[in-house]
A and B are shown apart, each in its own frame.
Chain A
């Protein structure tokens, strides 16, 4: 399939290209200009960008098919313009064996939507005790290793895991949370939690754990990626660590740059998230940190939860929110608030996550994978249960009017979504 996308505003953050023009894709890759395409897409008035890359999207397989399936979530991904996604290992069973990883990749390939990059379990069953066969898992296709949201309490194991990963140069993705300080907590430990009578998680549950992770990264030389920052303190720590030359990158979730604990309202269980929504001050620091580059990229932290999991009192509700289809509109909303160029905004969901994943996508240079998102940045998107393709309808943004509608999604030169 030879594809010619013409007359769109081509925005390629990696090269700085930002002008009306054409993009050609042949044999699955971005190509130089050619004639006689098999298909021409007229992108007049639309933006043509590299397909989006999401470093945290739960597909719920294997084990949680009642919450979502690969089919439903891959449809959601491409409807959101997401052409590559990394999925955390907290499936059931967790991704701690090459066979499971292999099966997941085959299933994903058969569905043929977005590219799926499994993140392997750092420890067996995510129990935080024994290391997984990281080299085997990497051979099976794991791009990094992680505990997802499962705490790794034993710092001796964490130290050894980072040493072992560093031996092979494998990246380790960790969410910083001291499980003792966070124990029993379901909301940011502040005025809102106090008013609602919800057990709190103090901000230093994150900063203390992050300090330990950064020290271990310094000591071991491991490539650490800090997932889902939620506090202003953590942003400051990463800023300092980067200036010291520690090999660390980090991300923030779409909810945490837009929402804060005030949004819990009257116990809205769609705001039950891990990490919790924190104060306005934290939210502002995260949005700013993402703008000035301390935070490398923006992720959906896509977590479909079924109704039964959310129709519960706040503390008993399952944490997480659906997000793949909101990644673009919420990135645009953030970029607009920060007065960033479209290229700078899109870099947080294209070239930056590509760099962290170490993949060739996320750019429109000839030879790069032919993954493209074509979208109308001004088109309104009303977020409703019906409008979401994901099986999870759980999002604090239900009822919001956002902007940014994907019109075409192309993966490896194949149009996998159009609307």
Chain B
């Protein structure tokens, strides 16, 4: 089968780390540790596993981070090279999988939990907090925190992959593939909204208006009784989408502190060197980018005792305010099969419901899909998605165009 494969290459890794952020085009050219290859279909010959044919698979910020070497080496022990990326997947079952017949269109919860690894449930999995599974390096699979980072399972950036029944969620009738491929990021956003601990009428900042920021905005507006939600957006289409998805106001990165200062009656402080910050600010801030600037914006705009939620994979940043302002820093990773705030329902179920809304439906129509052989263009597009007016770029391995 045809697949994009990420492989170990120290020179490319270092090159991507050194200049990938400034010249993203290099990542889709010579510096990317990614190649289009013909490989055997992935197969896990254990009960509960089945093969799938990819219909669409999204390009996530974490994928781009891995390709550009921006991802922390912390994760190097949690992946198995080489692997086929792609953890936002909508696919067709090629064979029966327990109660799901072949041909069922499914989306994949990518977390490779104790159930998938065929080990005794860890404490987290036993309570449904599958995203906190502590066995992701052991069991019957090679290490890999998710499908798309594990060499045994394959990923969505290949024509086929394999998944465990515990990972599969049938796509309801009437949902387009484009809507369905947003289920995984939407489930992450649901989890983020719940982890944010937002109280009634809390003022919330969402720093970033890529797909993570936009879907998080929708989740917060739908699942919490937040008051005003301010979204930081760079581009015009992001502003419109954020407002449609529930933002109260949208501000440019350069004006966020000033706007929040005025809205919250905070004081603005300018250190001798470095960015300004607020004394006072929002109750909850969500960093939906993961860059240094975005994280510092979130930390600097949150009131003392407030909460900062790390939704994007975080970069190194100045956390002085977290100490001085006694902020709660909350990580939010993927989603759980049983979310405490949803009476035991899974984030995927709620995400599927939220995707039915008009705003997300129209957002889904903007997804740019590429065949595998045009992967360089796709990654270029994904790097410049905001600037190019796109919310999500995806691969369609079926397409030959």
A is bound by B? no
